[in-house]
Amino acid sequence: MSLRCIAVDDEPLALDLLEDNIRQVPYLELVAKCTDAFEAIKVLQETSVDLIFLDIQMPGLTGLQFIQSMAQKPMIILITAYEKYALAGFELDVIDYLLKPVSLPRFIKSCNKARELYQLRQSSTTSTPAATPEFFFVNADYSLLKITIADIIWIEALKDYIRIHLTGDAKPVVTRMPLKQVEEQLAPAKFIRIHKSYIIAVAHITAIRKSSVFIGTMELPVGDNYREAVAALTGSGTK
């Protein structure tokens, strides 16, 4: 078992020391080093992460603000020079709170705590399905925008980006994120993938043909690999 982790700190020396500690723990896999929270957001949008080692005092978006922005967050260990944020950190359900400079034995103890929690969660998820979130945040227009899942009409992929069309908004939200990643946060009973580039909210579908799905006057193509799933919505196939 390995825990995929990222290290986030705006101080280059502290980041290098953190990387060195991580590489000495056999079950940790460092997938990225980030100098601020916005870099970390980008990493989380592009790959799966189990654990974040996170500084608090960073420019733009502090570590605590970063935690608050996440609808579904990995395990987090705060590493900071400031003792005063400990209570706020634990109120955000962090795994541990480490004060710089961190000794290797103390670092390993914290990592072991994270590994034990990860194993406990893995064993519980085999019997209890995870709840579908009601919202998530995306990085767009230099901000973290909250996307309420119930407001999504349809989503389209544009190479490395996705465009999210929402009720009540004439302008869609464009963000850098794989379509597969956002699909994992949507309830299968409420959303359907009709094409490698399109996901639609079932409630907003107004008509279905063999090779098309309509949302009002908007016609979207059905990919060959998705026709069976689309036909299943009608109960008897499409004509």
10 Å Cβ neighbour count for 219? Answer: 12
The pLDDT score that the predictor gives to residue 130 is 55
CA separation (Å) from 115 to 19, 51, 173? Answer: 18, 9, 36
Q: Distance between the two ends of the chain, CA-based, in angstroms?
A: 49
Mean pLDDT computed over 124-133: 60
The pLDDT score that the predictor gives to residue 110 is 95
pTM here is 0.55
Among the ranges given (94-103, 120-129, 163-172), the one the predictor scored with the smallest mean pLDDT: 120-129
The pLDDT score that the predictor gives to residue 239 is 43
Mean pLDDT computed over 98-125: 89
pLDDT tens digit sequence for 211-228: 899 999 999 999 988 888
Question: What does DSSP assign to residue 165?
Answer: E
**Distance of alpha carbon 72 from the chain centroid:** 6
pLDDT at 125 over 70: no
pLDDT tens digit sequence for 49-80: 999 999 999 998 999 999 998 878 899 999 99
Longest CA–CA span in the chain (Å) reads 68
Residues 206, 175: Cα–Cα separation, whole Å: 27
